């Protein structure tokens, strides 16, 4: 079936260090997968961080970037230098392009704690 896997439940990184949060997906019923990273800051709702709808492309926002890799079915989130304000829960999600399902399939989420 369709699924999203985030292997790390919690990641702790020191400020100014680099970050990678892993995400792999399985899209057996979605012909044209779209991939998303959402973020939930403390006390707030989910916000879209970045999205990529075409395999091989890279999305970026607020210093974060992720590349849609169809060969490895991965969409890892990276940032070269994290800040304390990046502390939040990050969700990888899989969706369908127009003509396919409209729902989003989420990973479990990864809690990022940035230490000063």
Least CB distance to another protein at residue 46 (A): 4
Least CB distance to another protein at residue 15 (A): 26
Binding residues for another protein, rule: CB under 8 A, are: 4, 34, 38, 44-48, 51, 91, 95, 97-98, 101-109
Identify the CA nearest to 29 among candidates 76, 75, 94, 91. 94
Residue 80: DSSP 8-state: S
43 or 116: whose CB is closer to another protein?
43
C-beta of residue 25 within 8 angstroms of C-beta of residue 3: yes
102 or 116: whose CB is closer to another protein?
102
Helix and strand tally (H, E) in the chain? 0, 12
């Amino acid at each position: 079936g369709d699924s999203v896997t985030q292997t790390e439940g919690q990641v702790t990184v020191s400020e100014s260090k680099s970050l990678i949060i892993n995400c792999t997906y399985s899209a057996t019923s979605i012909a044209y997968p779209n991939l998303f990273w959402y973020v939930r800051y403390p006390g707030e709702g989910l916000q879209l961080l970045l999205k990529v709808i075409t395999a091989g492309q890279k999305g970026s926002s607020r210093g974060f970037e992720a590349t849609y890799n169809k060969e490895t079915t991965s969409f890892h989130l990276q940032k070269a230098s994290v800040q304390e304000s990046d502390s939040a829960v990050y969700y990888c999600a899989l969706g369908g392009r127009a003509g396919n399902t409209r729902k989003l399939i989420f990973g479990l989420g990864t809690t990022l704690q940035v230490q000063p």
